[in-house]
Amino acid sequence: MDIVVCIKRVPDVAEADVEIDRSGLRIDDSDLSWGMNEWDTFAVEEALRLKEEQGGTVTALTVGGEDDEEVLRRALAMGADQAFHLQDDAFSASDALGVARVLAAAIRKRPYDLVLTGAVSGDTGSAGLGGMLAGLLEVPQVALATRTSYADGKLEVQHEVEGGLERVVELDLPAVVTIQTGINEPRYVSIRGIRKVASVEIPVEGAGDLSLDAAALAPQVTLKELFLPPTGEGAEILEGSADDVAEKLVEKLRERGGI
Amino acid sequence: MTTASKILCIVERAGPGLDDTAWELLGAARALVGDGGRVGAALLGEGVGDLASELARGYDDVWAFDDARLASWDGEAYARAVAPLVAREQPALILAAHTNLGIDFAPGLSVRAGVPLLPDCLALEHADGGTFEAVRAIYGGKVHARYACTPSEQGVMATLRAGAFAAAEPGAAASGEIHTESLADDVGQGRRPVRTVEPEAGEVDITQASILVGVGRGIEDEENLEIVQSLAEALGGEVACSRPVVDKGWLPKSRQVGTSGVTVKPKVYVAVGISGSFQHVGGIKGSPFLVAINKDARAPIFGVADVGVVDDLFDVVPALEEKIREAKG
């Protein structure tokens, strides 16, 4: 099975203080560490797991600038067979659909049975790439997968639906599947593992290579401003030492029937 | 500013009834539709006649797709079924809820319909020159972003976060027009439902607990769970958690609160080291007294909590446990 996995480099904001820079359009990322989008690490692992079971290839793709090559190298270190860096100034202003068009054009250039990507990205959190890719490639898709297995030309996928339920569906291939966290345990990549792939050449493909014109890349969705979430209607913040706030909390809990 | 002449809302079912978002979409649509414009609902399922009548108490048009192929949640079938309706009715705006089902069908439908997509909106309004502006939460809710969207000739699509828009109240009479829609031939192709998987029952049913201590990523390590277990014991409650704790295998899925986990209705919820993603908060119902303990003052959980402590949970939680035990004697 030939699997394409679409990945993205994002800043890790889980434990970080996020500030907006002076442009008002970007966060100040000088103190943030960057890496592969968490969901995408599970997508790469799932692709490798299926390949190890079924044979075939795993190809990693990302759309982005120079620095973003890092995540492709990580995918190679995890075990991907090849990687392509979709890089062009013409891609830099693209919206989510534009990025999906770039990826779809790159996917169409090669034989594929399955496209995997993280269900969500930790930066813009749109959760839209997989569905858009499937729409552009005109293949079936399923979102939020928590298990995949392959037999007899069909992929069985368990995924999250509403109300805490999960459903198992059967997909004809080729197809697109978006991967949830927790589906597997992404393999650890050592520094030595990264070094081993340091000299692997990662081909760059631009708008010309992908036959994409300006109209396909013109954004319809543009960012106007970033701002910090309003805090006015939020929680009453208790101040003081740990013992002080604990005492105040006990009073509050007593009032509300918690004690 | 212009207004939309025709808005199509793709509504969701929940169990035998309608999901709350069905009326939230209507509330959002009524604020955006122009005078004399029409707001329609696309309803998909099997045996949905009663629900169509219910929707007709608020929506001007109800497009009912009633077919066995739509009995289960299936985003692929939803997208394929609704695309021809969109092509025929040409709504200026398509709305859906940003739920697991919405995530499954909306991006694919937006491509099929040839419209740009504004996903997971917290606010949506008309702006100059026929554009729309949306507010979205990004970077895990730590930052909000305002986006402008230029519709294509075919219009624009947006998915709305559950609970972010005020619901419209249905009227007494079912005065909307109900239309019976037939399914396109390709519905059900490419993807077929196999079975539904019920969540595994845990040793403890947290849906019945009146006091819950929820623990999240901030707990850092499995062995640290002990301090929240002690706090829950002191309170006479149960331990619940957010997704990262289950992903790491530290607690069973039966303790995960959220839209992809369990829906709980406690009287008191103490969120420890939980950032407060909408998926997690979406599983907390019944407006409990919500206490948040998190060292990150920007964590979205403080936006929904009643009382917050911005401090190291490893200091606050043991202190709180001690004070509770003292208070209880």
C-alpha closest to that of A208 among A94, A104, A87: A87
Digit-coded pLDDT (tens) for B160-208: 999 999 999 999 999 999 999 999 999 989 999 999 998 888 888 999 9
Which pLDDT score is estimated for A21?
A: 94
Q: Is the pLDDT of residue A232 over 60?
A: no
Helix B100-113 vs helix A129-137: angle between axes, to the nearest 10 degrees? 40
Task: Give dist(CA B172, CA B176) in Å, integer.
Answer: 11
DSSP string, B200-215: PP-SS-GGG-SEEEEE
Candidates B107, B150, B319; nearest CB to A246: B319
Contact call for residues B39 and B9 (beta carbons, < 8 A): yes
Residues 6+ apart with CB under 8 A from A148: A46, A50, A155, A156, A157, A158, A177, A183
C-alpha closest to that of A105 among A202, A226, A207: A207
Contact call for residues B74 and B108 (beta carbons, < 8 A): no
Residues 6+ apart with CB under 8 A from B73: A161, A162, A167, B100, B101, B104
Which amino acid would we find at residue B23?
W
CB pairs under 8 A between A and B: 299
Residues 6+ apart with CB under 8 A from B93: B4, B6, B7, B8, B29, B32, B132, B155, B156, B157, B158
Is residue B241 helix, strand or coil? Answer: strand
Supply B36's token pair.
């004399």
Helix A96-108 vs helix B100-113: angle between axes, to the nearest 10 degrees? 80
Digit-coded pLDDT (tens) for A15-61: 788 899 999 999 998 889 999 999 999 999 999 999 999 999 999 99
**A237·B195 Cβ contact <8 A:** no
Q: Is the pLDDT of residue B1 over 60?
A: no
> To the nearest whole number, what is the mean pLDDT of chain B?
95
**B194·A156 Cβ contact <8 A:** yes
Shortest alpha-carbon distance between residue A124 and chain B (Å) = 5
Q: Integer distance in angstroms from the first to the last C-alpha of chain B?
A: 64
* Whole-structure pTM value: 0.94
C-alpha closest to that of A109 among A4, A7, A1: A4
Is residue A71 within a helix (H) or strand (E), and if so which, with residue range? Answer: helix A69-78
DSSP state of B141: G
Candidates A119, A234, A256; nearest CB to B268: A256
**A134·B15 Cβ contact <8 A:** no
Digit-coded pLDDT (tens) for B309-325: 999 999 999 999 999 99
The Cα-based distances of A89 to A11, A92, A93, B41, B214 in angstroms read 21, 5, 8, 41, 45
Q: B-chain residues within 8 Å CB-CB of A113?
A: none
Q: Is the pLDDT of residue B219 over 50?
A: yes
Digit-coded pLDDT (tens) for A202-230: 999 999 999 999 988 999 999 999 999 87
Digit-coded pLDDT (tens) for A164-210: 899 999 999 999 999 999 999 999 999 999 999 999 999 999 999 99
Q: A-chain residues within 8 Å CB-CB of B12?
A: 162
**Residues B30-45: what's their mean pLDDT?**
95
Residue A152 forms contact with B (CB below 8 Å):
no
Contact call for residues B60 and B39 (beta carbons, < 8 A): yes
Computed on alpha carbons and rounded to an integer, the radius of gyration of chain B in Å comes to: 22
User: H-type helices in chain B, by residue range?
Assistant: 21-32, 49-55, 75-89, 100-113, 225-235, 243-247, 278-281, 301-304, 313-328
Contact call for residues B32 and B151 (beta carbons, < 8 A): no
Number of helices (H), then strands (E), belonging to chain B: the values are 9, 17
**A243·B109 Cβ contact <8 A:** no
Supply A229's token pair.
């979430």
Residues 6+ apart with CB under 8 A from B233: none
CB-based burial label for B85 (10 Å; 0-12, 13-18, 19+): buried
Contact call for residues A114 and A49 (beta carbons, < 8 A): no
Contact call for residues B109 and B119 (beta carbons, < 8 A): no
The Cα-based distances of A175 to A180, A254, B290 in angstroms read 16, 54, 42
Q: Is the pLDDT of residue A231 over 70?
A: no
**A252·B14 Cβ contact <8 A:** no
Work out the number of other CB atoms within 10 angstroms of the CB of residue B233: 15
Sign of CA dihedral A105, A110, A111, A112: negative
**B292·A235 Cβ contact <8 A:** yes
Which pLDDT score is estimated for B200?
A: 80
Q: How far is CA A35 from the centre of its chain?
A: 11
Is residue B43 helix, strand or coil? Answer: strand
**Residues B261-281: what's their mean pLDDT?**
95
Shortest alpha-carbon distance between residue A244 and chain B (Å) = 9
Residues 6+ apart with CB under 8 A from B191: A140, A141, A142, A169, A170, A171, A172, A175, B74, B76, B77
Task: Give dist(CA A162, CA B182) in Å, integer.
Answer: 25
Shortest alpha-carbon distance between residue A51 and chain B (Å) = 22
Q: A-chain residues within 8 Å CB-CB of B157?
A: none
Confidence of residue B40 (pLDDT cuts 50, 70, 90): very high
**Residues B90-117: what's their mean pLDDT?**
97
The Cα-based distances of B299 to A106, A234, B305 in angstroms read 38, 11, 11
Candidates A18, A221, A235; nearest CB to B305: A235
Candidates B100, B140, B316; nearest CB to A13: B140
Digit-coded pLDDT (tens) for A86-132: 999 999 999 999 999 999 999 999 999 999 999 999 999 999 999 99
Nearest chain B residue (CA) to A16: B296
Shortest alpha-carbon distance between residue A69 and chain B (Å) = 21
C-alpha closest to that of A224 among B133, B151, B93, B2: B133
Residue A55 forms contact with B (CB below 8 Å):
no
ipTM score above 0.85: yes
Kind of pairing, strands A34-36 and A9-11?
A: antiparallel
Candidates A125, A170, A247; nearest CB to B138: A125
Which pLDDT score is estimated for A29?
A: 87
Q: B-chain residues within 8 Å CB-CB of A140?
A: 76, 189-191
Nearest chain B residue (CA) to A183: B247
Contact call for residues B176 and B60 (beta carbons, < 8 A): yes
Nearest chain B residue (CA) to A244: B319
